[in-house]
Amino acid sequence: MNAITRIASVKERVSAAEWEARVKLAAAYRLAARLRWTDHIYTHFSVRVPGPDRHFLINPYGLAFDEITASSLVKVDIDGTLLDDPTGLGINRAGYVIHSAIHGAREHTHAVLHTHTTAGIGVSAQQGGLLMISQHAMRFHKRLAYHEYEGIALDLDEQQRLIADLGGHDALILRNHGLLTSGRTIEEAFYNLYYLERACAAQLAAQSGGAALRFPSEAVAEKAARAFEDAIAQGRHHSHWDAYLRQLERDDPGFAR
């Protein structure tokens, strides 16, 4: 079966649940492209395939985010074996090392999103990390982890340290590298990434003016963080995702094929 045939037949040979996961992940890639969260072909979003196996879906190495479709995604197991590679492009090992670490260690985490944006890298290189100077940043008040840079993530032994640093959080700044968020669903991970990316961009903008920065009190920052958690508990992240998805379906519906 050649690559064109394999791509065309993906929907026919996977479960309905896997196809739904594929469509949502492809949508996340296309939305990231629209939001300029990409580093061309070099970062990765992944989602766990529904079912008992620790299989996950990730982008083929070589397609830009705005080229990703539900059928082009690669299915890989936790040990790195390619189970379904419709395009034949394979995957980026660095993406596998980071994403398999989290999918393998955290039962509740189904989606992992990682970016190399200018804002994210900029904040990751600052000694103080993310500053609680915006409402967007306060989403992560005492809810954000940091992982020191160890070089390009090609070594499996880094996985233990990454997981230890992440702890119980769903947001991570990889020092001198970029941002990572996770969630129980694509919708939740995307909501987290949206706020983290906006917080980093706002921080760089505030710092660029050169004026002294204002910091709300710890109590106020914690109040804001809890309000965001309440919003997630009430499903607000689904409304956020659905609104973005409607825009995507109007302007760029090709992701779902």
pLDDT per residue over 60-109, tens digit each? 999 999 999 999 999 999 999 999 999 999 999 999 999 999 999 999 99
> Averaged over 146-173, what is the pLDDT?
96
* 175 three-class SS: coil
Whether the pLDDT of residue 22 is over 70: the answer is yes
pLDDT per residue over 166-186, tens digit each? 999 999 999 999 999 999 999
Cβ-contact 25, 73 below 8 angstroms: yes
pLDDT per residue over 209-257, tens digit each? 999 999 999 999 999 999 999 999 999 999 999 999 999 999 999 999 9
Residues 6+ apart with CB under 8 A from 171: 140, 143, 144, 145, 179, 180, 181, 182, 192, 196
What are all long-range contacts of 231-234, with beta carbons under 8 Å and residues at least 24 apart? 232/188, 232/191
Please give the biggest Cα pair distance in the chain.
Answer: 62
pLDDT per residue over 29-68, tens digit each? 999 999 999 999 999 999 999 999 999 999 999 999 999 9
Q: What percent of the chain has pLDDT over 70?
A: 97
φ, ψ of residue 67 in degrees (nearest 5):
-100, -10
pLDDT of residue 42: 95
